[in-house]
Amino acid sequence: MRLLFCSACLVSASVAQVAPGEAIVSLFTNVAPLEGLAIVNRNGTVTPVTNVAAQSVQNLNSVALDPITNAVWLGSITQAPTTHGLRRATLTGSVLGPATLVASLPTAPAGSFSGISFDQNGNPIVSGGTVPPGTGGIFRVDRWTGAVTNLLSPHPALPAGTANCVDVDPATGDIYFGVTSAGGAIYKLPGPFPNTAAPVLLGTTVTNATISSVAFWPAHGVNPARVYWNNFAAANNCVGYVPAAGGAAVTVAGAPTPWGSGTNWITYDRRQDDLWTITAGINPDNVFTLTDAGVNTLVAALPPAGANGSPSAIDANDAPAGSLRAVPQYLPATPTLVTVEVSMSWTPGDIGIFGIVIGGTLITFGLGIFDGSGTLSASFPATLSAGSPGAYAFFGASLGLAGLQITGPLVWPAN
């Protein structure tokens, strides 16, 4: 493996402003003052994101925050005036920057990006359309080229249904997805990257087949990992989970389950060790947090007064303080020029710098300021190939009111 390292790395100019601990909500349909996106603080403050409608970026069916830069990824449905596609943008305060079209699904123009997560190499993993032999499925989108690969295509067909949601365990690379068929089926595409094994059925939602989201919940002590889910139908909606290893579904008592509405998305928050979920359909349209035991807290009603169209997804800026990340984790088999991206999370406004140990020598790079999301990222080109797992180690440092804080080592790559 050969590393062509340049000490004058590109430091991210990202100005993403979903602050640490906050969440961003997308809406398929909306009314003023919202344009399709809103930032939600746990204190109940809802901040509309502007410059969405001006770009004809509407009918948003999914939203996710980039694991490296904290940029906003948006998935839409083809419905005038929006062109179907997966877009990436940054935020300046609460103003959406140019939303660049990265990819469209093979199901275009009728395809829908119904869920977004990220694999171990930082590539978006999106769900949408009718599973094979239909033209939908679970798709990997290359974060740099926009190339699209249907991860279900090489495998035997699944029972007919829509691939309506997706989430990824970043540690193992397992991809979890829900299909609106066979009682609301929950599957796993085993990791690690590139997820070539056939999908495995884990369980079903049992209450109704309209599964709207899945959220991976890591093991907690003696409690094994779970895949939380919720559903969205005329009745019998709830929040529940199946064991990540597979098994019978368990419904979560106490979760917000409005009749005739449903919870339209659920996501795990690593910072707070709880879940965010949103209700949609028959008003009110609310944002809740939820413990694994079902204790729910109403965070906010989406303005005005909880009557705002159809909230479709929610994602939280939940990167733990001091966390350090690098992609790609898995390198190509033959020497290839790739872009290595590193990122860490600390306090907005602090000064940060990265380091990498090469041959026993620490080289520093990427000096910069943590943005409003508490993120600092840097990237550099390198010619790399698989074969030397753990050959390098990344470090990070932050200097601010709390003093000098060090994070690492992050041993890299994985293969």
Encode pLDDT of 179-206 as tens digits. Answer: 987 678 999 999 999 999 999 999 998 7
**Token representation of residue 70:** 């904290």
**Least confident stretch, 102-116, 183-197, 211-225, 280-294:** 102-116
> What is the predicted pLDDT for the residue at 343?
97
**Token representation of residue 86:** 């997966």
Tell me how far CA of residue 247 lies from CA of 59, 178, 187, 225, in angstroms: 35, 15, 11, 12
**Residues 277-288, mean pLDDT to the nearest whole number:** 84
Is 324:396 a contact under the CB 8 Å cutoff?
A: yes
Distance CA 209, CA 222 (A): 30
**Residues 322-345, mean pLDDT to the nearest whole number:** 97
pLDDT grade for 229, boundaries at 50, 70 and 90: very high
Chain centre to alpha carbon of residue 198: 22
Q: SS3 of 55, please?
A: helix
Within 10 Å of residue 333's Cβ, how many Cβ atoms? 9
CA atoms within 13 A on the CB side of 70: 34
Backbone angles phi, psi at 54, to 5 degrees: -65, -25
Q: SS3 of 271, please?
A: coil
- The 10s digit of each residue's pLDDT in 24-66 is 999 988 888 999 999 999 999 999 999 998 988 878 999 999 9
Backbone angles phi, psi at 141, to 5 degrees: -115, 120
Tell me how far CA of residue 79 lies from CA of 1, 101, 308, in angstroms: 47, 16, 18
Cβ burial of 32 (10 Å; 0-12, 13-18, 19+) is: exposed
Distance CA 361, CA 38 (A): 45
Residue 246 has pLDDT above 80, yes or no: yes
Is 407:396 a contact under the CB 8 Å cutoff?
A: yes
Cβ burial of 7 (10 Å; 0-12, 13-18, 19+) is: exposed
> What is the predicted pLDDT for the residue at 259?
45
Is 57:102 a contact under the CB 8 Å cutoff?
A: no
> What is the predicted pLDDT for the residue at 5?
47
**Token representation of residue 384:** 């790399």
Distance CA 111, CA 38 (A): 24
Distance CA 377, CA 373 (A): 11
Cβ burial of 79 (10 Å; 0-12, 13-18, 19+) is: middle
The percentage of residues in the chain with a pLDDT greater than 70, rounded to a whole number, is 90
Ordered by where they begin, the domains of the chain are: 23-316 (2.120.10.30), 321-412 (2.20.130.20)
> What is the predicted pLDDT for the residue at 239?
87
**Token representation of residue 145:** 């080229």
Distance CA 349, CA 398 (A): 10
Tell me how far CA of residue 60 lies from CA of 84, 85, 115, 244, in angstroms: 10, 10, 10, 29
DSSP bridge pairs for 116: 126
Within 10 Å of residue 156's Cβ, how many Cβ atoms? 9
At 65, the amino acid letter reads: L
Contacts for 259 with CB less than 8 Å, ≥ 6 apart? 235, 237, 282
Is 199:226 a contact under the CB 8 Å cutoff?
A: no
**Least confident stretch, 4-13, 85-94, 213-222, 292-301:** 4-13
**Residues 72-98, mean pLDDT to the nearest whole number:** 85
pLDDT grade for 257, boundaries at 50, 70 and 90: low
Is 140:122 a contact under the CB 8 Å cutoff?
A: no
Residue 293 has pLDDT above 60, yes or no: yes
Quote the pTM value. 0.94
CA atoms within 13 A on the CB side of 256: 24
